[in-house]
Amino acid sequence: MYSVTDPATGELVEEIENASDEQVRAAIERVHTGFAAWRRRPVAERAAIVARAADLFAERADELAAIMTLEMGKRINEGRGEVGIVVDIFRYYAEHGPDLLADEPMKVKTGDAMITKEPIGALLGVMPWNFPVYQVARFVAPNLVLGNTILLKHASICPRASVAIEQILYDAGVPDDAYVNVFASSRQVPWILADPRIVGVSLTGSEAAGISVAAEAGKNLKKTVLELGGSDPLIVLDTDDLDETVKATATARMRNCGQSCNAPKRMIVLADLYDEFVDKLTKRVSEYYVAGDPSDPKTTLPPLASIAAADEVAEQVATAIEQGATLRTGGHRVGPGAYLEATVLTDVTPEMDAYRDEIFGPVVLVFKAETEEEAIAIANDSPFGLGASVWGTDPERNTRVARQIEAGMVYLNSAGGSSADLPFGGIKRSGLGRELGPAGIEEFMNKKSIRL
């Protein structure tokens, strides 16, 4: 069942039945048969349609932001900001896609050759709720320009967002057999992946979901891209403005109510700054982030996406405290709705669950490191490897530390975030493959060698 439940109140707004097996099979057939015609469209035509989609996303930003606020509790201003990034992504691939898909001449030992860059077929996208429009854009924009077709299964709490995205693409000129939104259930995903008409899958979601989908895709030899969880480290080496550093790092962690895979969940501070950093961070988190209505632009702390999500994070905090962590502020559920106080935890040790697990909510863990080397060791002591950040005043030192961090992305003096032209993805248990930038259009591409 797909449902719309307002996380600010817990009120059930709408329920939608899952698609039947027959409806899902019909949707697979649509994108399978639609591939032949879509791939033959000149790349310039496909790019022009994607450019038109960018304009429509911009025009409907307020509508999309309101949907996100209702369905998963995103602050209204953050929703508008998310749509802005979506517009950038569609425009990036509309502008650069034709060049990225140009034939690549080669000189080989026996003469001349070239690499052609071609689509591979109908793809399944399994999308999450935390960035309901942006996550779809990362997968959809490059693949539409490339010439692949898409069957999209969105999160079960985001039916209105998924329908709104589909309508924008159709209004832009995407054929209704090149992109199909389907209210499939998790039960149906394995046999969708087993269907030979689906040739690849992109999933953004939890580690458990990624393992399940990767296993099914592997059994069926399907190309896979996975963007999974993260427990990103943020290392503070030094600063010439501690107040500003605290403000910036708190903002990065609390964005989207802490529900970002690449948010800085573990802050690692060198010993000479640690005590003052923790005091200032605790004050900032406790005083600035106050629960409120996510539709009010003045709100600083919205609800989590669901009551279940808020309960899970609250339980993780309680377990950390029981195991010996120090609660500096927050940690309690606030009702009604899916609210949790913004939280700071210190004294988390490797024996505690919180040391290894991803906490997907407004919770900051702060660690003390005596040396630069210890900070790097703590940063890398994680099963995840999505993003990281290094904060300091010496660019050479920052870069030296960044090179030693085990992650797919490292930011200097900023954290999290995304850019249409910069590849996004992780290593270890944070996933496989890359999205965005030039790399994002290559994952589901047939790089065909032609010997001339």
Catalytic residue chosen out of the listed positions 82, 261, 358, 435: 261
**What three-state secondary structure class fits 154?**
coil
Query: What DSSP line would sit under 385-438, residue for residue?
Result: ESEEEEE-S-HHHHHHHHHTS-SSEEEES--S---TTS-B--EETTEES-BSHH
Cα dihedral sign for 301, 303, 305, 307? positive
Cα angle value 245/249/253 (rounded, 5°): 170
Q: Strand pairing of 326-329 and 343-346?
A: antiparallel
244 is catalytic: no
φ, ψ (nearest 5 deg) of residue 314: -60, -40
Query: What DSSP line would sit under 267-294, residue for residue?
Result: EEEEHHHHHHHHHHHHHHHHHH--B--T
Are 29 and 95 contacting, i.e. CB atoms less than 8 angstroms apart?
no
Closest to 314 in 3D by CA, of 334, 339, 336, 332: 332
147: which 2 tokens?
């010439």
261 is catalytic: yes
Catalytic residue chosen out of the listed positions 71, 166, 227, 435: 227
- Alpha carbon distance 32, 4 (integer Å): 30
Q: Which residues are catalytic?
A: 227, 261
